[in-house]
Structure 1
Amino acid sequence: MAISGKISVEVVIQVPGSKFFQILAKELHNIQNICEGVHGANLHEGDDWHCTDSVKNWTCLVDNKVITCKEKIEAIDEEKKLIQFSIFDGDIGQNYKLFKSNVQVTETNNESASVKWTIEYEKINEDVKTPYGYLELLEKVTIEVGDHLHKA
């Protein structure tokens, strides 16, 4: 059984990729108001939700269990529509030595986009489950944000 690895999911949404990326890059604080699986979020450190030295607290539903964690943006590449996150502390810190999430948004045409999430992880031991529940949450968040933007 592998202690570390990468898993990913790709979702096609029926909104322009630039609109979806805008939510993640400039309006991340609104995710808790859009997505059912995100129960709360607040700024833990820093003055701005979207800079690389700010830390956010998140409360989410993963595998039908409420979990908490902290998140920090490591890098944003607006040209490539790529964001790299580091997730730590709380339930993540109890189970994983390393937990990083990347999102890449690719325009497929003016009305749709492909959103790919990749989680890179290192478990604290072999008994910890591969984080498919977290990947499922990211997939649901993508669909819900896409639906929200499509209706707007």
Structure 2
Amino acid sequence: MAGLPCKLVAQVAFKAGGDVFHYLMAKRPQHLANVTPGKIQSCDVLQGSYGTDGSVIQWKYTLDGKEETAKQALQDIDEEKKTVTYKMLEGELLQLYKNMIIIFHVETKNGVDFITWTITYELISADTPHPLSLIKFFIEFTKEIETHIFG
């Protein structure tokens, strides 16, 4: 099992407008600490700038009641397809998984916007659990942003 590529996917209907979600995630992730303070404590640019491919950002967040950090490279921001791809560079998650890539994609089906989260990763050992709490984090995070926008 170790070293095998794995994938988790979750899709959430987003009534607050997919364009708004994409804009926040791609261009203004530093504002997410204000929107979801129980999940995101900060997002800082270490290299480059927000919304620019190749930039490096660092998140401080709470997962399963523990404060963690994640240093990520923005690999691909596609305004037309409304996708953003993050490659994990450092952080607690890389103690359990390697080659972790996190992608979110906004798409509209039958007039409804959906946010799709995809996590691709490799388990470091066969007894490592899949990152189900991380995909749950993204589902809750998406719903909290929607609630915040709607008020």
TM-score (norm 1): 0.88
| Structure 2 unpaired stretches of 5+ | none
The 2-side partners of 1:150 and 1:80 are apart by 24
Number of the residue aligned with 2:106: 105
Q: Is the 8 A contact 1:84 1:103 kept in 2?
A: yes
Number of the residue aligned with 1:37: 39
Deviation digits for residues 22-52 of structure 1 (CA, Å, limit 9, x no counterpart): 1112111111111121122212222x12112
RMSD value, Cα: 1.7
The 5-angstrom pairing of residues 85-124 of structure 1 reads 85-108=86-109, 112-124=112-124
Number of the residue aligned with 2:77: 76
Shift of 1:127: 2.5
Deviation digits for residues 74-127 of structure 1 (CA, Å, limit 9, x no counterpart): 1111111111111231202222221001111112466x4111101000122113
TM-score (norm 2): 0.89
User: How many positions carry a matched residue from both structures?
Assistant: 149
**Percent identical across equivalent pairs?**
27
Q: Is the 8 A contact 1:61 1:137 kept in 2?
A: no
